[in-house]
A and B are shown apart, each in its own frame.
Chain A
Amino acid sequence: MNHCPCFFRLKKGHGGSFRFLSQPIFWISDLQLPRRGPGGGRHQPIRVWVHPPRRNRTSGLSPASLGAGRGLGAKPAAATSRRRKNMAGAAGPGTGAGAAGGDGDDSLYPIAVLIDELRNEDVQLRLNSIKKLSTIALALGVERTRTELLPFLTDTIYDEDEVLLALAEQLGNFTGLVGGPDFAHCLLPPLESLATVEETVVRDKAVESLRQISQEHTSVALEAHFVPLVKRLASGDWFTSRTSACGLFSVCYPRASNAIKAEIRQHFRSLCSDDTPMVRRAAAAKLGEFAKVLELDSVKSEIVPLFTNLASDEQDSVRLLAVEACVSIAQLLSQEDLEALVMPILRQAAEDKSWRVRYMVADKFSELQKAVGPKITQDDLIPAFQNLLKDCEAEVRAAAAHKVKELCENLPIEGRETIIMDQILPFIKELVSDTNQHVKSALASVIMGLSTILGKENTIEHLLPLFLAQLKDECPEVRLNIISNLDCVNEVIGIRQLSQSLLPAIVELAEDAKWRVRLAIIEYMPLLAGQLGVEFFDEKLNSLCMAWLVDHVYAIREAATNNLMKLVQKFGIEWAQNTIVPKVLVMANDPNYLHRMTTLFCINVLSEACGQEITTKQMLPIVLKMAGDQVANVRFNVAKSLQKIGPILDTDALQEEVKPVLQKLGQDEDMDVKYFAQEAMSVVVQRLRKLDLPVKDCDEPSAPGADKNHFLRPRGPGEDAGKEGAAVRGGQSPCRAQVERLESSEASYILVAGSVAPNVPSSSSSLS
């Protein structure tokens, strides 16, 4: 074990006996730090305080002398700092920047800050300094990090889990800071303590770091330091250390000598039959990983019995982890051994009385299938899979349904079609009319993939009826899943086959009461449009797309506008000019201000896709006209739109038409309108400048930031509302009180928006 660091031994009055490289600026602790007994041995995590460091690639800090000894936090700060002054003759960090900075030794500075922060009562500040642990280590130099900092960390573990987590993480990258691989073992003691704490995340992180530094150990050091640590953990009193040990066997086994290997196996064996289920779970979870590093003989003679025991553990939480291990073990064994040693257990797991275990089998089915090979799959797994598909628990059926496609894909191509047709398809047919919607929806998400495997004829004869049935399913998620995978079928049979059934399904989803469903179908529109073609689209779907523009939910209107843009990209400008643009522009006269704003939002996204001509000739006049709207929301959105479409317009239009309107809006009585008008103006002016046009009769609008109040105020309603989440907007801005037209449904929506905030996309419909 490490020597007692001289630095921490340094006590009041003994400063003279220790030579500092430069003036010590840290207080010297007058409290005896808790030290481990001379015997070394296992140490309990002592929960006191800690001084950690963290990497921070600034390196090159001169090895400053550093006194990091610190009271155990019990001393009042004032007293400590006074003592410090008297004793060390240098101002401590706590007394202020001036004092420490006055020393003129900058290199000591960061450490001063960090260590002082470690004493702070605020967790966040302590965390900050812990995260700079490497700075301290760099400053100390490798030797003093090893002899002073690390033992200190080991002995004084601070008790806030969050801080411990940060510490555990950093120590994993500390090898360089302690002097490279030759000294990596110095990091073991603090990590060992961390690997025994209760909090799982801390422990897991400590194990992760230990695994990382185990690779950096030399083989000698591994046996001298790392393996003993694993053994200590494996025989710890409290379950936490034994749990942590489970994760460490596989990293040290391959590099250990034969004698040690036998010991390691012995330890692992005993953990597999630990009387604490937590430990057995940890061992079961690592069984596969451990098996992979063992010699094949040992796998057969030792791992398989352990696997058998764990797979028949009394707790289902252990048994289900054995299923995972099964995948790894199966990969290692020959077919005969598999059949004799593993398959009985796997068969048993597939029929376990606990649904959790069966679920696990279903969930890992593809991996199992690959691991056991085609022969056993054909003989054993397919029947097991059939049972899982008709399991009594919906969870299991859903998990199995998810695997249908992968299972079929991975079957050997020869004879695949027959197997699927005879042994899988009948069960799938049943699932289409399952009582549980999750099962149906899981199936719907993969079933389309079968068409590529089965080919055109089978698809038309057998799968198509299933697709059609699912398209009519009562659960929208099922229908959506089918529609979202249309491309698979398109490749095989073409979408026309489906279009007759598709249409009613789409129309119904388009009008679903749940906005998330509507949103989902909108997102598939461009895809559908591409596959169905422009004619079909114009005839059947165009009206839907327009209807979404006036949806009651902002998120839908927003998605609908983006959808239009994508459609234009797909079908071209001419199509846009004939079918979309006129309809959008008509909405500018709608009595509902929300619809008028939708026009503006559409113009924002369409202008780029449509190009200069349409924008200038058709859109701009409408936008400009709307600058006189009664509702302030519309007016400031006009300003924003003008800013957006500015780059597309030519300079004449900017100079002659846009600027005057913005100037007028800049004088608006509403402060939001004014703000956005000025912002737009500055952009427009900049653009004109760039084009080197004389900017005359235009007062440079005050920079947006000039209106300081603006930033303190919430944004105007309708402004980025969809992204902000549902702020309750009642009565924020007095100028918003002039409600032009508040439909009753909108009003009720506002109430709801306040109460179920997280679910509802905040809408611009809130309040005008």
Chain B
Amino acid sequence: MSSSSPPPGAASAAISAAEKVDGFTRKSVRKAQRQKRSQGSSQFRSQGSQPELHPLPQLKDATSNEQQELFCQKLQQCCILFDFMDSVSDLKSKEIKRATLNELVEYVSTNRGVIVESAYSDIVKMISANIFRTLPPSDNPDFDPEEDEPTLEASWPHIQLVYEFFLRFLESPDFQPSIAKRYIDQKFVQQLLELFDSEDPRERDFLKTVLHRIYGKFLGLRAFIRKQINNIFLRFIYETEHFNGVAELLEILGSIINGFALPLKAEHKQFLMKVLIPMHTAKGLALFHAQLAYCVVQFLEKDTTLTEPVIRGLLKFWPKTCSQKEVMFLGEIEEILDVIEPTQFKKIEEPLFKQISKCVSSSHFQVAERALYFWNNEYILSLIEENIDKILPIMFGSLYKISKEHWNPTIVALVYNVLKTLMEMNGKLFDDLTSSYKAERQREKKKELEREELWKKLEELKLKKALEKQNSAYNMHSILSNTNDE
């Protein structure tokens, strides 16, 4: 039951005729009614009331001796958390913390030499205290990221500033990874990665930049980060099918892959084949397909010998019922073909074009259209021309058929163009195929009939066998009973 149910008193009277008839208002209507919600984090449970904050003096007013001390005090002050679900409580303290955070951001970005070794511990402690939390359960159990408004983080006014501060800290010229690595360790990164599941896109955006900086600066954490992302993805694919930050993580990976040294390590290839390719099966592929395709193409640009396994992998997971995903797959295939080497192309042309041939004759016009657009791509066209002897026989049947049968005139027009192009490439073969088309179809039909016949006979045989078995069982039985009689 959605929360939009009207209060009981008003219910019977206030229901409009349409609503009464329908009973289910449309999703869009419901959504308009629903106010944008925000949610607090799970950490606010029975912490009791918060101590009231008292404003500390401004950092800029302090002498340089006192500044460091004051800086740490302020960091400690910002470790105190407030409940933002209750919008009226602790207003004064919340404002003080907000101002302090602002001041801290300003302080680390404009002053040099303020990030001293002794401050690291307090800085990381403050950041951890604020951002690390168990993400609350989603308000909307069947949250559809494409359709639904995300639930926003209630404490954003503070958290945003903390992220801001974190970034300035990481990017500061004074920042020294060698000191920071004592605090920003594997456990820290692990918790950071879990936050990527946040429903709030603003938070994920910050996290993306933060993680990217960490990956760049902490060489010791790189392998660990990759492995954890790997685990998150595997959990996403095979266990939960739900993780909000997949697109952001893939974006980071895109730039990571870009920096891989050649030749690629086995670990990276395994990641491609066992994680990235199976990710194409995910239900919400639309949300991160662009980033995923980018990663895949990055890999192929690094190492062209991966083309064949990648394309075979995509063919294995080719969507069977979801046309929207099919269009995405076709888009990715085109991106891959754009960078493919002719020798690699030869290796996969047969299975690939069998699939393209199926797509071209899809009754969903967007799928057919997307596949036919391949023929507008100069490079693909040249590849086809080079291998026309192989490709034309695969494509011909379905192209010929839809040129006659497809319901959508645009598709038919496109197909005519494609057929024309193909004819120009090899007129002789084209003519041969045209003349043998009918015979070919008939042969297929005959084969189909034969198959049916075969199965029918198999069924009969099965019955016969069952009967035989029964009889033999009966005989056995009678033999046994005879023996018993004796």
Contacts and interface: CB of A to CB of B under 8 A. Distances in A.
Nearest to B278: A198
B43 A353 contact: yes
A277 B1 contact: no
B248 to A, nearest CB: 20
B26 A756 contact: yes
20 contacts: A93-B454, A112-B454, A113-B458, A116-B454, A238-B274, A239-B234, A278-B231, A278-B238, A316-B134, A353-B134, A355-B42, A476-B1, A508-B8, A508-B11, A513-B23, A553-B21, A748-B18, A749-B21, A752-B26, A756-B26
Interface stretch (A30-38, A55-63, A691-699): A55-63
A749 B22 contact: yes
Contacts of A58: 461-462, 465-466, 469
A553 B23 contact: yes
Contacts of A355: 42, 134, 136-137
B22 A760 contact: yes
Interface string A236-255: 00110000000000000000
Nearest to A120: B451
A267 interface: no
Contacts of B7: 474
**8 closest residue pairs by CB, A with B:** A392-B45, A58-B465, A515-B23, A354-B134, A97-B453, A759-B24, A60-B469, A749-B21
A745 B22 CA distance: 9
Contact of A755 (B1, B23, B26, B469): B26
Given A278-B234, A476-B5, A745-B17, A392 B44 contact: yes
Size category of the B interface is 35 or more
Interface in A504-526: 508, 511-516
Contacts of A121: 354
B296 to A, nearest CB: 17
A75 to B, nearest CB: 12
Interface string A8-22: 000000000000000
Contacts of A704: none
A514 B231 CA distance: 43
A100 B457 CA distance: 11
Contacts of B235: 277-278, 317
A101 B5 contact: no
Interface of B: 1, 3, 5-8, 11-12, 15, 17-24, 26, 42-46, 134, 136-137, 187, 190, 231, 234-235, 238-239, 274, 278, 316, 354, 450-451, 453-455, 457-458, 461-462, 464-466, 468-469, 472
Contacts of B8: 472, 474, 508
B12 A508 contact: yes
A276 B233 CA distance: 12
B42 A97 contact: no
B42 to A, nearest CB: 5
A2 B134 CA distance: 52
A200 B239 contact: yes
Interface in A496-545: 508, 511-516
Interface in A304-350: 314, 316-317
A183 interface: no
B316 A101 contact: no
Contacts of A356: 134
Nearest to A125: B451
B227 to A, nearest CB: 8
Contacts of A238: 274
Contacts of A437: 1, 3
A106 interface: yes
B469 A59 contact: yes
A391 interface: yes
Given A353-B134, A475-B5, A745-B21, 7 more contacts: A109-B457, A198-B278, A513-B5, A513-B6, A553-B21, A745-B18, A749-B21
B455 A113 contact: yes
Contacts of A373: none
Interface in A106-149: 106, 109-110, 112-113, 116-117, 121, 125, 135
A178 B366 CA distance: 51
Contacts of B465: 58-61
A491 interface: no
A756 B23 CA distance: 11
A393 interface: yes
B461 A96 contact: no
Contact of B238 (A106, A159, A200, A759): A200
B5 A393 contact: no
A395 B137 contact: yes
A238 B46 CA distance: 43
A355 B44 CA distance: 11
B11 A512 contact: yes
B46 A392 contact: yes
A109 B462 contact: no
A330 to B, nearest CB: 26
A160 interface: yes
Interface string A263-282: 00000000000001110010
Interface string A51-77: 000001111110000000000000000
B461 A106 contact: yes
Contacts of B11: 508, 511-513
B389 to A, nearest CB: 14
B434 to A, nearest CB: 20
Contacts of A354: 42, 134
A370 interface: no
A314 B224 CA distance: 15
A552 interface: yes
B22 A278 contact: no
Contact of B187 (A109, A314, A513): A314
Nearest to B465: A58
Contacts of B20: 513, 552, 745
A477 B6 contact: no
Interface in A69-111: 93, 96-97, 100-101, 106, 109-110
A110 B15 CA distance: 65
Contacts of A353: 42-43, 134
Contacts of B137: 355, 393-395
